Structure 1
Amino acid sequence: MANVDLFAIGNALIDQEFKVSDDFLTAQNLQKGTMQLCDGEIQSHLFKHLKASQVYKGQASGGSAANTTVAFSALGGSAFYACRVGNDELGQVYLDGLNEANIATTTKSISEGVTGTCMVLVSEDSERTMHTYLGITAELTEQQIDFEPLKTAKWLYIEGYLSTSDSARLAVKQAREIAKANGVQIAITLSDPAMVQYARTGLDEMIAEGVDLLFCNEQEALMYTQTDHIDAALAKLKTLSQHVVITLSSSGALISTQEQTFNVPGRAVIAVDTNGAGDAFAGAFLYALNAGLGFNTAAELAILISSQVVSQYGPRLAIRDYAALLTDFQKECA
């Protein structure tokens, strides 16, 4: 296998997207803006209610770190994705989609079981609420991961959603050890307020003695640090990571490096669906850093890419659109 720039570990999920009302979320006892885990039977029951009363927007391959990896690869980076899918139709669809995006995978990712699915419920205000049946991805272990590409990668990227799985955290621990031994930089995302609220110990374990780059949004930053002001949150996060990126929705992002802290403004867009926006931001940011473009330029590109993701339904852009946006961005910067 050829060397890759980015080695990512995350869940493998097929998204089913619906446009829903706030009344529906309340009736189903779903906490808006967060991810809730469930079993297959409960999700099947919810799916029937959704199909009967809400607006179906389609199916898409998802998974937070996978969305990040697609953005990274589509912009021109080389990447490998470590995950676990079932030996079923959805699992093959999932891996085929990654390969079509020029992302390397391994047949080790395929095992007996059911591929995970996620009901993505998009409110009128564009906020996404997720109801997730992890399926076999909940049992991701080191046996499903080919660690060889990690040894020569530039970045290891860890999805915070893995904090709920004991076996996945062990796999992440091994990945961290390999990365440290080979001088690979480590990046992590907190992923979701629900992970901070319910899987804090798991996040602590994956962050361990610290990382090189930490991504989170404002709500996650405040919850994780148990503070009520972004400056206080940033100060605490800087004790865990050399570099911190806090996304601020339409207000852009707050970036902290070892040399400086600065804000990068957002772009004015009509938000349709926030699902995958933070993932795309991280992918574009890592691509730019890996290309030597610097933190400010990385944030500007990440904001451009993520603003386009929120302007449509689904967690990813068409592959060709990433490169087109990069070309436009390069012209802006010229």
Structure 2
Amino acid sequence: MSKDAREWVWEHSSSRGTARLVLLSIADRVPDEQCVAWASIASLMQRTNASRNAVRGALTTLAASGELETLDTFIGPQRSTVYRLPRTAAQLAKAAAATEDDPGAIVEPPAASDPVPELDGKRLRRHGIWPRDGSESDPRRQNPTGSESAPSRQNPTPRRVGSRPPEGSETDPQNRSEPKVNRRYSSSGAAAVTSAGEWQAGPDTHAWARQQGHLERLGEQGLATADMKWRVHRADFGPRTAGAWAADWRSWIAREHNPTPSRPNLHAMPGQDPSPAGGLTRTQAHIAALRAALDEPNGVAPR
């Protein structure tokens, strides 16, 4: 019977794009001439390779066209939604009536005025479809075939205000798999955060150092030393995102100078106390360091 339902969709349905794929997926599950089938959003997403919003938009479009009906008074295996193709059921009933006496009779094309047959609830129970007000513990309501197309709906996703897709959307993006992120330090899972010691400078960071001239100015060894000092100074900082560490690292490298007698090391690691260069006193060395930071000439002469 699913073959007849699919043929009706191929030959007479006005649906397009994602809506047509969704209707074909439901028609493929029709067990008899009542044209009733159950399906979950997740299974339709898997069969059509479309996003959740695209599937929901397609269901809204099909309901508006009258080619698909949601039977809210029934429920399928594992609390899945029950749908009916009313126009398909009307056409099959008309074809059965026309060919009952004359198997070779020509069946007229489907029309909107064709009556839709009434549902037989007892026949629906054979396929795991029960009235919604029925017993929830009835063992016969479990999936009799164990089909993978009916995933568990114990924790359905709550609807969000403003997330309803526009009707008739046929260009919705397909479902994309999001990469897993490090949620070690994140309570909400919105963004991955790490410590300064765990953060690693990527190729884009090294490309920035090369483009800005810092690699040529400091050299490979100088850049590695500056990176080590940055990690020591940031060891006690709280966890941050990779973008925040990258911005802080670039700021540090941009301020880093090669240690020379005329330009003291302004970013020495904690615990280091470099001796004054050139015979300067501690006060004179500090003044020279401040002037070096301001790119001013050193006006303090050695004694």
Shorter-normalised TM range = under 0.3
| Larger relative contact order, structure 1 or 2 (CA cutoff 8 Å, min sep 6) | 1
Which has a greater percent of strand?
1
